[in-house]
């Protein structure tokens, strides 16, 4: 991508990448808009989308191998965290000690480099069977990139503890708005997803934006991993869109027991959450939310029982005792 006379990048410091200067988050260009008042020209901000190649170096010291593990479309920024978070979410990384270095690579345009290499320490094994997916993954893709159901085997998640803490319902209802308030680039473009890690008291730990929902989650998880912040068992992952299987998988791989989505969950996301004892909430808004699994981590005070709605008869049914 090259800017012409009518296009220019907006830059912002990228605090998530050590030693990095500003990284472009969106670009602005004049566009024409037709309204009832006629045709007008104005400057619009567009969410930046660029490909990112993720490489991993592994094997014994005398026979190192380099392999491209994924190519994804993403919003530049926090690329190191994205690559590491991807590896964590796929169950390939468990401890920070497994990582020797993480570096941005490739031709540089402005402040953007579209390749990241994660070097594992000599002797660290890499189970490449977990990466049985197509070599190209779009920014919006979820489980669709898998090449077979064998790649969906869920045997690498750390066990979740029982529901030993609760988040108040009033805090949960406020989480989407708290996430939105932290979306700097969304305010300009309206074109980015976001993911954020919050405490049960509603404090934002880290928020990341990206054109891809799963990329934003990878950036959140990768940030915590590279900072050596384990013990995410008392945190809530909040996502701006729907809750797919892949997002539920990433939360479980990182040991995050609660996923709160603004949109709907998929059937497989609910099944996986239920199987592993996670809490999955959807359609979260100021007026309420749906609890699909793991209600033990939600504290509801003063809520009266209400009749349930039967879709078959389209009538209210008594709530179960």
Between CA 175 and CA 259 the distance in angstroms is 11
Alpha carbon separation from 37 to 32, 34, 84 (Å, rounded): 13, 8, 49
**Three-class SS of residue 143?**
helix
Does residue 135 have an active-site annotation? no
Element (H, E) at 51: strand 50-58
Catalytic residue selected from 141, 172, 179, 211: 141
**Three-class SS of residue 157?**
coil
Structure tokens at 194: 């976001």
Maximum Cα–Cα distance across the chain: 70
- Using a 10 angstrom Cβ sphere, with 0-12 exposed, 13-18 middle and 19 or more buried, the burial of residue 156 is middle
Between CA 211 and CA 198 the distance in angstroms is 21
Helix axes 79-89, 213-226, angle to 10 degrees: 90
Between CA 71 and CA 123 the distance in angstroms is 25
Catalytic residue ranges: 141
């Amino acid at each position: 991508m090259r800017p012409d006379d009518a296009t220019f990048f907006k830059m912002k410091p990228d605090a998530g990448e050590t030693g990095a200067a500003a990284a472009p988050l969106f670009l602005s260009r004049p566009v024409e808009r037709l309204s009832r008042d006629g045709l007008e020209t104005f400057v619009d901000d567009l969410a930046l989308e660029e490909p990112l190649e993720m490489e991993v170096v592994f094997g014994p010291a005398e026979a190192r191998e380099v392999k491209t593990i994924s190519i994804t479309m993403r919003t530049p920024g926090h690329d190191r965290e994205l690559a590491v978070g991807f590896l964590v979410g796929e169950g390939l990384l468990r401890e920070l000690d497994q990582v020797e270095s993480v570096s941005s690579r490739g031709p540089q345009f402005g402040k953007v480099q579209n390749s990241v290499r994660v070097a594992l320490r000599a002797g660290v094994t890499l189970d490449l069977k977990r990466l049985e997916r197509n070599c190209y993954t779009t920014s919006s893709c979820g489980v669709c990139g898998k090449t077979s159901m064998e790649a969906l085997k869920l045997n690498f998640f750390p066990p979740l503890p029982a529901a030993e803490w609760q988040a108040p319902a009033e805090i949960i209802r406020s989480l989407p708005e708290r996430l939105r308030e932290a979306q700097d680039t969304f305010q300009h473009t309206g074109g980015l997803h976001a993911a954020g890690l919050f405490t049960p008291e509603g404090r934002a730990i880290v928020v990341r934006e990206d054109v891809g929902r799963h990329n934003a989650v990878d950036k959140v998880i990768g940030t915590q991993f590279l900072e050596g912040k384990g013990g995410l068992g008392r945190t809530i992952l909040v996502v701006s869109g729907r809750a797919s299987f892949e997002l539920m998988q990433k939360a479980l791989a990182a040991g995050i027991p609660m996923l709160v989505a603004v949109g709907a969950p998929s059937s497989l996301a609910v099944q996986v959450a239920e199987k592993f004892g996670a809490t999955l909430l959807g359609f979260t808004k100021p007026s309420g939310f749906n609890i699909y699994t793991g209600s033990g981590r939600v504290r509801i005070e003063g809520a009266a029982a209400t009749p349930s709605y039967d879709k078959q008869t389209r009538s209210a049914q008594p709530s179960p005792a």
